């Protein structure tokens, strides 16, 4: 759901903020007030192309920000997580927000940001799929894209769980195919590979590395490289303690004798005298040990060379096999396992082939079952949309939901693709779908984007959305100029249809018809304001009283009479009663 749309320096908009609510949000206002600019701004944050002339005259750049609530929109969350733009959903609640920012310079260059991170336009368009679907005389997103039609058909058919099983079975098949293919590649050069593995095993086994050995050797190297310093420091310490005339031990012995004489006069000093005597004895022992060690310490160039060579050997192994002795030993285990597997190549190849055959049979069976559900639902979906078109005054229109197999050509096997009865099997099954429409009786059905009349196309999109309103992602629908060329009773019917769609998802509708605006849950008025020499556009949420006055303006034009206001109140009352 779109919570907030903020626009700065776009066309005649200086600065504007629109906070939308759930249900039906209606925008009304005089022609040229800037209503359609809001839809253009929404297209920008969905990844649409930007023109330099969209920037307000005199400004260096224009900017659009949109804040989306992602509650319940798992598909968008997964895309954001894959781009590391959103923390993974640990609690499974599917909550979160997405802030989209698009900046357009006066020179035509654009920048896009998702949750504060700079992204490409392509990444923005990929992430924004499903956030909003725009229907206008100029742009038709999502539902007119055949790539989305199969998903809607599956949701209408109640086949989403089976779709998931097909996708999982197809992934299992890919993994089985990949395992068999990799093994076959190894077999084609088995002798060379076996020799390579044997050489790697021999290289590691000859060195017999042990975990932690490199750390101990590094410490030993430090000691051997600094043997001269170590000998000098221990010898100097022994001399200071014992061997000099003014050694520490001699000084402590003298102090001990003085305290011993003092203890004869003051018995309480006896304990200190004994403590000094013990300390003197301990220092003598320490001094003799230091002297002994200093005498035994000698430079060991041979030992240093052997240690450095061993470290060099281990470093070479670590560079080749993963950076640590743990990874070296893990590589040794992997080489032994692969060598054993190659030695039993016939058994392994047969097991992998059987695994692939089982995975293929499982994926094929599920895909055929899914195709059956889709064929059964296609006619029902086409009939439901056609019935909606009839209620919208297009009784001669006919909708087809066409299922077409994705052909598997002769090169498919070489590309390791899977073909079932001439159709290429994929994670989505065996076919693709497309909604076709014949707006008038006797005409051939054509793809939605090729319908010539903007009004017919807008009503066709509305009919499809009425049928599919509670299916698909939890995004929003935007209708701009859906009321072109209609009025009277048909306008009221379209208003009710849009309101029914808004019961399942958020809707933004720009309209000039009071019969549609009367159904608004949130009614906004867009106005053009002249300040000095500049014209700018503003928008504000209307109160109940202001909504009634605006509907009266839409009904009565320049002069609003008491009778016009009464009709406006009656329209609002009827709309609220029908929604109750």
For residue 138, pLDDT over 70 is answered with no
In percent, how much of the chain has pLDDT > 70? 91
Say if CB 460 and CB 144 are below 8 A apart: no
CA distance 339 to 276: 71
For residue 266, pLDDT over 60 is answered with yes
For residue 142, pLDDT over 80 is answered with no
Average pLDDT, the chain: 84
Estimate to the nearest angstrom the gap between the alpha carbon of 570 and the chain centroid. 48
- The verdict on pTM exceeding 0.75 is no
State how far the alpha carbon of 321 is from the alpha carbons of 201, 230, 307, 493, in Å: 11, 36, 21, 72
Say if CB 5 and CB 46 are below 8 A apart: no
Domain spans in the chain, listed from the N-terminal domain onward: 1-131+491-580
Greatest alpha-carbon span in the chain: 134
For residue 552, pLDDT over 90 is answered with yes
Say if CB 385 and CB 399 are below 8 A apart: yes
Say if CB 280 and CB 252 are below 8 A apart: yes
Q: Which CATH architecture has domain 1-131+491-580?
A: 3-Layer(aba) Sandwich (3.40)
Pick the residue with more confidence: 140 or 232? 232
The one-character DSSP state at 242 is I
For residue 136, pLDDT over 70 is answered with no
Nearest Cα to Cα of residue 430 among 453, 396, 405: 405
Question: Using one digit for the tens of pLDDT, what is the confidence trace for 483-535?
Answer: 777 777 888 888 888 898 888 889 999 988 999 999 999 999 999 888 877 88
Highest mean pLDDT among 175-179, 405-409, 472-476: 175-179
Tokens linked to 241: 């303690």
Highest mean pLDDT among 29-38, 245-254, 361-370: 361-370
Nearest Cα to Cα of residue 207 among 329, 95, 299: 329
Highest mean pLDDT among 235-244, 261-270, 333-342, 544-553: 544-553
Q: Any residues with CB less than 8 A from the CB of 537 and at least 6 apart, and which?
A: 11, 12, 13, 14, 16, 33, 34, 37, 526, 527, 528, 529
pLDDT of residue 359: 94
The one-character DSSP state at 446 is E
For residue 578, pLDDT over 50 is answered with yes
Residue 268: phi and psi, rounded to 5, are -65, -15
């Amino acid at each position: 759901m779109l919570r907030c749309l903020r626009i700065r320096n776009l066309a005649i908009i200086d600065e504007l903020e629109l906070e939308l609510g759930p249900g039906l949000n209606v925008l009304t206002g005089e022609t040229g007030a800037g209503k359609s600019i809001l839809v253009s701004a929404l297209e920008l944050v969905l990844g649409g192309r930007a023109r330099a002339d969209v920037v307000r005259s005199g400004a260096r750049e224009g900017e659009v920000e949109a804040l989306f609530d992602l509650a319940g929109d798992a598909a968008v969350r997964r895309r954001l997580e894959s781009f590391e733009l959103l923390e993974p959903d640990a609690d499974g609640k599917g909550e979160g927000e997405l802030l989209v920012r698009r900046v357009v310079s006066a020179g035509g260059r654009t920048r896009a940001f998702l949750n504060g991170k700079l992204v490409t336009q392509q990444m923005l368009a990929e992430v924004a799929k499903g956030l909003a679907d725009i229907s206008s005389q100029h742009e038709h997103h999502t539902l007119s894209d055949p790539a989305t039609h199969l998903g809607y058909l599956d949701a209408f058919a109640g086949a989403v769980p089976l779709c998931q099983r097909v996708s999982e079975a197809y992934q299992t098949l890919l993994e089985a195919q990949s395992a068999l293919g990799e093994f076959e590649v190894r077999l084609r050069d088995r002798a060379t590979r076996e020799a390579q593995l044997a050489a790697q095993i021999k290289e590691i086994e000859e060195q017999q590395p042990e975990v932690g050995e490199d750390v101990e050797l590094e410490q030993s190297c430090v000691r051997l490289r600094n043997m001269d310093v170590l000998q000098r420091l221990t010898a100097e310490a022994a001399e200071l303690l014992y061997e000099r005339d003014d050694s520490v031990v001699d000084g402590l012995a003298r102090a001990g004798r003085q305290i011993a004489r003092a203890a004869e006069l003051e018995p309480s000093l006896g304990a200190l005298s004994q403590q000094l005597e013990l300390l003197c004895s301990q220092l003598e022992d320490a001094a003799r040990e230091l002297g002994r060690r200093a005498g035994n310490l000698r430079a060991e160039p041979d030992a240093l060379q052997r240690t450095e060579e061993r470290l060099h050997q281990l470093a070479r192994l670590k560079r080749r096999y993963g950076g640590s002795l743990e990874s070296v030993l893990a590589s040794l285990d992997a080489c032994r396992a692969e060598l054993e597997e190659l030695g039993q190549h016939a058994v392994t190849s047969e097991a992998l082939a059987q695994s692939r055959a089982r995975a293929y049979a499982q994926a094929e069976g599920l895909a055929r079952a899914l195709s059956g559900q889709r064929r059964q639902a296609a006619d029902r979906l086409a009939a439901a949309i056609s019935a909606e078109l009839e209620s919208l005054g297009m009784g001669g229109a006919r909708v087809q939901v066409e299922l077409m197999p994705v052909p598997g050509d002769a090169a498919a096997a070489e590309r390791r693709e899977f073909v079932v009865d001439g159709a290429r099997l994929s994670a989505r099954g065996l076919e693709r779908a497309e909604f076709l429409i014949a707006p008038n009786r006797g005409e051939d059905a054509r793809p939605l984007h090729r319908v010539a009349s903007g009004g017919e196309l807008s009503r066709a999109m509305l009919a499809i959305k009425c049928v599919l309103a509670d299916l698909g992602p939890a995004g929003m629908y935007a209708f701009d100029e859906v009321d072109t060329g209609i009025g009277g009773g048909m306008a009221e019917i379209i208003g009710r249809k849009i309101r029914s769609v808004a019961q399942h998802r958020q809707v933004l509708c720009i309209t000039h018809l009071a019969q549609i605006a009367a159904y608004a849950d949130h009614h906004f008025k867009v106005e053009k304001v002249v300040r000095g020499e500049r014209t700018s556009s503003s928008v504000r949420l209307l109160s109940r009283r202001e909504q009634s006055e605006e509907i009266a303006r839409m009904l009565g034009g320049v002069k609003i009479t008491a009778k016009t206001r009464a009709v406006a109140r009656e329209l609002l009352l009827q709309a609220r009663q029908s929604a109750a």
